[in-house]
Amino acid sequence: MTPPKTAVSDIKDPSLADQGRARIEWALQEMPVLQGLMERFTRERPLKGVRMSGCLHITTETANLARVLAAGGADLVLCASNPLSTQDDVAAALVKYFEIPTYAIRGEDNQSYYRHITAALDHRPVLTMDDGADLVSEMHKQRTDLLVNMIGGTEETTTGVIRLRAMACAGALQFPVVAVNDAMTKHLFDNRYGTGQSTLDGIIRATNILLAGKVFTVVGYGWCGRGVAMRAKGHGAKVCITEVDPVCALEAAMDGYEVRTLLEAAQESDFIVTVTGNKHAVDKQHFKVMKNGCVVANAGHFNVEINIAALDALAVEKDRPRPSVDEYHLADGRRIRLLSEGRLINLAAAEGHPAAVMDMSFANQALCAAFMFNHAGSLENKVHCVPREIDQEVANLKLQAMGISIDRLTAEQQAYLTSWQEGT
């Protein structure tokens, strides 16, 4: 007899399932687009019998995406896409109430993290859903036997898309992937408003330090950086931006922010937050000049943005005054406070993005999974854009759910916009 799917999961505590289910239902109320898709997927079963593995942050919103995929007929397993982002009650509910095998324990070490990815790959998926490209990358490095049956994958975040494009560029990518992050209805809202609100939430929950009047430096003025800066400004902080891209720096300056080098900004900042997707954006030379008491946090995908080894090497002592704060004491008496070990602060110290933005990101994920399955064998092995129709559909569904109506082009306007003869 086949063992029940729930028997093979690896989660922290099954007794948390009721609490997890209540929070998942709470989040669903803010996800009207996914609710609509759940009904449609139940009716149409667009993923019937499709073996899928998802490597995603195990949060309430992800649980609702998983329910939609399962309603659509997918045979799904999940593992965590970050060791500190798992909500253990959600993992328990996924297993007990939604019968979705889940491999995720908050605080798991690196070995368990990769053991869980291996378990998700042992499911022998034909579709993958990644947040950071770890499933795709591990499959190409360790489990090439699975490549032959792969239909394709979808990718949630900027960093994952960068990794996948690098693979495609090197001719290494062996199946097509859709870059969900690049949908307008994803990065314009999730990266900007989602990361903006939840990063501030994480910093406040971790420190409970007043932001008003403080110097708050945002490293990287991309989609996430714009959101973090906007929300910090709303709290009354004096926001400073550091960039390496001249256009983004110019945009920040014209949005009214002070733009400086990080070496200059570090000397006066009370908070420094990285959102670059890059390695060692905050490095040894910055720690050396940082203001006493500076709070340093990261909201970028991987924990590489802050050079923690360099900070460790400079410190003479380290303690943990609050659960998500490590205070490093330097030889000259200064203290530097690192939040959540440099892992994405919004998921490690708060609950990640609010459900209302994940509603759009995950509607894109669900529709792109169905799109990928419908186009099995016909897409090139490269990183594909989200089809414009899906992006527009998600925007329309969200507007509808928000009770917002918009105007339509008249036939005259449509003709004008597609002609070139008419001038003044």
Ligand X SMILES: NC(=O)c1ccc[n+]([C@@H]2O[C@H](COP(=O)([O-])OP(=O)(O)OC[C@H]3O[C@@H](n4cnc5c(N)ncnc54)[C@H](O)[C@@H]3O)[C@@H](O)[C@H]2O)c1
Q: Where along the sequence are the contacts to ligand X (CB under 6 A)?
A: 157-159, 187, 191, 195, 219-225, 242-245, 248, 275-278, 281, 299-301, 344, 346, 353
* Shortest spacing between CB 131 and ligand X, in angstroms: 8
Enter the tokens of residue 113. Answer: 């993290």
Shortest gap between Cβ of 106 and ligand X (angstroms)?
16
Measured at CB, which residue is nearest to ligand X?
222
Residue 278 beta carbon to ligand X: minimum distance, rounded to whole angstroms: 4
Q: Which is nearer to ligand X, 96 or 301 (CB)?
A: 301
Give min distance, CB of 27 to ligand X, in A: 15
- Cβ nearer to ligand X, comparing 310 with 379: 310
The nearer residue to ligand X, 41 or 257, going by C-beta atoms, is: 257
Nearest approach, Cβ of 226 to ligand X (angstroms)?
A: 8
| Burial group, residue 208, by CB count within 10 angstroms (0-12, 13-18, 19+) | exposed
- Written as one letter, the residue type at 59 is T
253/376 with CB nearer ligand X = 253
β-strands 75-80, 102-103: how paired? parallel
Closest to 106 (Cα-Cα) out of 73, 71, 133, 81: 81
Q: Report the distance separating Cα 211 and Cα 80, nearest Å.
A: 32
Closer to ligand X by Cβ: residue 9 or 181: 181
Query: What's the closest the beta carbon of residue 316 comes to ligand X, in angstroms?
Result: 28
Residues belonging to the chain: 424
Residues 208 and 108: their CA atoms lie apart, in Å, by 26
CB nearer to ligand X: pick between 224 and 314 = 224
Q: Which is nearer to ligand X, 70 or 229 (CB)?
A: 229
The whole-angstrom separation of Cα 293 and Cα 285 is: 17
CA dist 48 and 370 (Å) reads 10
Q: How far is CA 408 from CA 33, 390, 395, 417, in A?
A: 22, 19, 15, 13
Order of strands across the sheet that contains 152-155: 102-103, 75-80, 51-56, 127-130, 152-155, 177-179, 383-384
CB of 63 to ligand X, least distance (A): 16
